[in-house]
């Protein structure tokens, strides 16, 4: 729901019916990646600021400079801001735009992963490590070799293997790559051509590198064909997330310019994933971004909207709501401004 088609009155009306409140209100937060570590909930969000850059389709107005980790002792506890966990000035290779991050735990260490533009203006993904889930995180000197684009998300499978999902089109630069190679001349496919898929790679045991060439993921329609670029209410745009439910792999993502969070189901971490529907209807603001996590036997959707800033696209707030499945394992669509589930 772009800013320009929503007036202030419409925004106020939606806010009155919002199904959840911002987790914190003393700063703007977005792109929440939620995890349970040591029975507590940790949320790894972007830290939105007003960098004074006007809205454009390249996302230059998302000029974030640092990260804070939020934590909650229980699902109904207040969220605590644990201060600056990583700043762009401390990352030798990064120049600007600290976008949607994630984190994973392995062998006593916490691995924070984040995208940022390097000095040449190209997005890459970096890792930073800490003994604590809240940081501060010490960044590696270089980005992950062979990494590109935005929105990295870790996934630990039940066999203990870790994967990383990433990618985003438009400002996320994924359209500039084919088979992991960058070319300035590469563009988005035509509307009647298959859309670009998100990317996945298995990680090395130390979680610092890809252990294989990254693969493109295919999301298929009901006939088994790849979703087309012109199918912008269903095709992948950015914000990849993976979770497992009842033995199946659920790949979820944002459709960007049509503002949905959607998902597909597959039999393994590489897909293909069969498109199943919408998880979240459009929120106030242009972007939508989510994560899904299980806590004490229930599932939760973490997401953001621009309610606190009354619709300012780049000033968002992290929220959460319970997520439920039907008997077939399909996710009930959530309307963020009406508590009734469909």
| Catalytic annotation, residues | 31, 238
In this complex, which beta carbon is closest to ligand FUB, that of residue 139 or of residue 239? 239
Binding mask 52-71 for ligand FUB (x = CB under 6 A): -------x--x---------
Distance CA 276, CA 271 (A): 13
- Distance, in Å, from the CA atom of 15 to the CA atom of 165, rounded to the nearest integer, reads 32
Q: Which is nearer to ligand FUB, 134 or 291 (CB)?
A: 291
Distance between the two ends of the chain, CA-based, in angstroms? 20
d(CA 128, CA 137): 5
**Binding of residue 151 to ligand FUB (CB under 6 A):** yes
Q: Indicate whether 278 belongs to the interface with ligand FUB (CB under 6 A).
A: no
CA 291 to chain centre: 7
Return the residue nearest ligand FUB (CB atom). 99
Tokens of 286: 């242009």
The smaller minimum CB distance to ligand FUB, of residues 102 and 216, is found at 102
Q: How far is the CB of 239 from ligand FUB (least distance, A)?
A: 4
Under the phi-then-psi rule, with left for phi > 0, alpha for psi from -120 to 50, and beta for the rest, what region is 329? Answer: left
Q: How far is CA 265 from CA 109, 271, 329, in A?
A: 31, 8, 10
CB 125 within 8 A of CB 88: no
Member of 29, 130, 287, 309 binding ligand FUB (CB under 6 A): 287
Instruction: Please identify which residue in 20, 29, 33, 46 interacts with ligand FUB, judged by CB under 6 A.
Output: 46
Q: Choose between 62 and 236: whose C-beta lies nearer to ligand FUB.
A: 62
Strands 123-130 and 80-87: unpaired
Please, which of residues 87-146 interact with ligand FUB by CB under 6 A?
A: 99-100
- Does 283 engage in binding with ligand FUB (CB under 6 A)? no
Query: Per-residue string for binding with ligand FUB, 226-265, x by CB under 6 A?
Result: ------------xx--------------------------
Burial class (CB in 10 A: 0-12, 13-18, 19+), 247: exposed
Q: Please identify, using beta-carbon distances, which residue of 62 and 110 lies nearer to ligand FUB.
A: 62
Helix ranges (H only) for the chain are 8-16
315 binds ligand FUB (CB under 6 A): no
Contact residues for ligand FUB, defined by CB under 6 A: 30-31, 46, 59, 62, 99-100, 150-151, 168, 238-239, 287, 289
């Amino acid at each position: 729901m772009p800013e320009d088609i929503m007036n202030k009155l419409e925004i106020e009306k939606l806010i009155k019916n919002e199904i959840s409140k911002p987790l914190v209100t003393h700063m703007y937060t977005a792109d929440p990646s939620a995890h349970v570590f040591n029975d507590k909930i940790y949320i790894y969000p972007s830290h939105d600021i007003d960098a004074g850059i006007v809205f454009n389709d390249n996302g230059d107005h998302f000029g974030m400079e640092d990260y804070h980790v939020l934590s909650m002792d229980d699902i109904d506890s207040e969220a605590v801001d644990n201060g600056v966990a990583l700043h762009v000035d401390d990352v030798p290779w990064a120049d600007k735009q600290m976008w949607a991050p994630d984190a994973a735990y392995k062998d006593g260490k916490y691995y924070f992963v984040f995208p940022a533009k390097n000095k040449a203006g190209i997005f890459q993904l970096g890792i930073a490590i800490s003994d604590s889930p809240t940081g501060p995180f010490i960044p590696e000197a270089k980005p992950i070799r062979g990494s590109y684009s935005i929105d990295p998300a870790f996934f630990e499978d039940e066999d203990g293997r870790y994967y990383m999902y990433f990618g985003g089109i438009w400002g996320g630069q994924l359209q500039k790559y084919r088979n992991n190679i960058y070319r300035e001349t590469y563009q988005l496919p035509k509307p009647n051509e298959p859309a670009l898929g998100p990317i996945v790679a298995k990680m090395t045991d130390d979680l610092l590198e890809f252990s294989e060439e990254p693969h493109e993921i295919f999301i298929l329609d009901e006939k088994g064909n790849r979703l087309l670029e012109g199918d912008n209410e269903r095709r992948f745009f950015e914000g990849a997330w993976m979770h497992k439910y009842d033995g199946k792999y659920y790949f979820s993502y944002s459709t960007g310019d049509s503002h949905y969070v959607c998902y597909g189901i597959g039999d393994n971490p590489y897909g293909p994933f069969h498109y199943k529907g919408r998880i979240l209807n459009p929120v106030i603001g242009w972007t939508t971004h989510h994560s899904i996590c299980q806590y004490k036997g229930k599932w939760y959707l973490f997401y953001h909207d621009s309610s606190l800033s009354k619709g300012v696209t780049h000033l968002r707030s992290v929220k959460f709501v319970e997520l439920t499945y039907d008997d077939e394992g399909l996710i009930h669509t959530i309307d963020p401004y009406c508590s009734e589930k469909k």
